[in-house]
Amino acid sequence: MQDVLHALFFVVAFGALFLGVMLAEYGYTRHQGKTGVYHLRETVANLTTGFSYKVVDGIAIALFIQAFYLWVYDYGLQWNPELSVLSVLALIVFIDFCFYINHVLMHKVRWFWNVHVTHHSSEHMNFSTALRQNFTFALSGSWLFWWIPAALLGFDKNWVLLAIEGNLVYQFFLHTEQVRKLGWLEKVMNTPSHHRVHHGSNPKQIDTNFGGIFIIWDKLFGTFRSEEDAGEIKYGVTRMPAKPYNPFYLQVHDWVDMFKDVWRYKDLRILYKHPDWAQQHYGTQADTDNR
């Protein structure tokens, strides 16, 4: 119960921080004479999906994710390094690499894309977009690729929790059009410029810039695309959800479409193939969400 209360405390504390930042961005853009940055119905949907995601995720971490982590830890290297600047940096870099792998899988495997499509389905880029998440994340198993490698190495679970939450907090600040280029930081760090490309739905923008804190993974593995080379960015997915302001629909519609395709074609490969595979393999009747 104590872990659940801690999880809910994080939801409230960071929720207040994020709301404050969103209000500041809204006030700044209004002061600059910019309109159309925030849209009330979309912002409410983003806040609602973000709240439901974080509540379910926090309870899942408290109830079974950390328990599974400890079970795996007993079979791993049990490194458990002393607290130091180097060990903290090693954990931050390692967790970000695990996020990169997890993020790539969420784009390449339909089962995981069902969770992630919610985040990409906004047609606008502002700080509220960062909160457009999906409560089924904890139920999809995607977290295994983020948590379990650290358990096998032997990092303390509380350190890992802080590193993951810190990674997510950093990513919140990437969702804005108000911050342009950041000089030399663009070479190493993920920045709003890089992340704007990631949220684009034009061909040169899809499946690029997967990093969380660092952009070095994308440059190493060939998934990097600079904003200058991406063309005009069109936010969203290529087939937008039919009910863009319904928080529940936004989080479950792709699951429904996937299972419809599995039933229609009697093909379990749809579960683990690319999100567009059913459409490409069986034709345009598939319910897959083009990107």
Q: Is the pLDDT of residue 258 over 60?
A: yes
Please give the residue range of the domain that contains residue 19: 2-229
| 257: in domain | no
| 284: in domain | no
Where do runs of H (alpha helix) occur along 109-199?
110-120, 137-140, 144-153, 157-172, 192-198
| 247: in domain | no
Domain count of the fold of the chain:
1
The two structure tokens encoding residue 186: 């663009």
| 52: in domain | yes
CB burial class (10 A; 0-12, 13-18, 19+) of residue 181? Answer: exposed
pLDDT category of residue 6 using cuts at 50, 70 and 90: low
Percent of the chain with pLDDT over 70: 93
| 8: in domain | yes
pLDDT category of residue 13 using cuts at 50, 70 and 90: confident
Q: Which residues 6+ apart lie within 8 Å of 99 measured at CB? A: 146, 167, 211, 212
Q: Is the pLDDT of residue 291 over 70?
A: no
Phi, psi (degrees; rounded to nearest 5) at 200: -80, 155
Q: Supply the pLDDT for residue 5.
A: 63
Q: How far, in Å, CA of 179 to CA of 171, rounded?
A: 14
The two structure tokens encoding residue 63: 């109830």
The two structure tokens encoding residue 94: 């390692």
Cβ atoms within 10 Å, residue 226: 13
Single pTM value for the model: 0.93
**Average pLDDT value for the chain:** 93
Q: Supply the pLDDT for residue 7.
A: 62
Q: Is the pLDDT of residue 44 over 80?
A: yes
Q: Supply the pLDDT for residue 285.
A: 56
Q: Supply the pLDDT for residue 210.
A: 98
| C-alpha to C-alpha distances, 175 to 119, 191, 192, 193, nearest whole angstrom | 11, 9, 6, 9
Q: Is the pLDDT of residue 290 over 70?
A: no
Q: Is the pLDDT of residue 3 over 70?
A: no
| 14: in domain | yes
Helices 157-172 and 144-153: crossing angle, nearest 10°?
140
Closest residue by Cα to residue 201 from 146, 124, 270: 124
| 217: in domain | yes
| 97: in domain | yes
> Alpha-carbon torsion 205, 210, 211, 212, what sign?
positive
Q: Token match 């923008």: residue?
A: 205
pLDDT digits (tens, 9 = 90+) for 67-90: 999 999 999 999 989 899 999 999
pLDDT digits (tens, 9 = 90+) for 14-30: 778 899 999 999 999 99
pLDDT digits (tens, 9 = 90+) for 167-214: 999 999 999 999 999 999 999 999 999 999 999 999 999 999 999 999
Q: Supply the pLDDT for residue 287.
A: 55
pLDDT digits (tens, 9 = 90+) for 129-169: 999 999 999 999 999 999 999 999 999 999 999 999 999 99
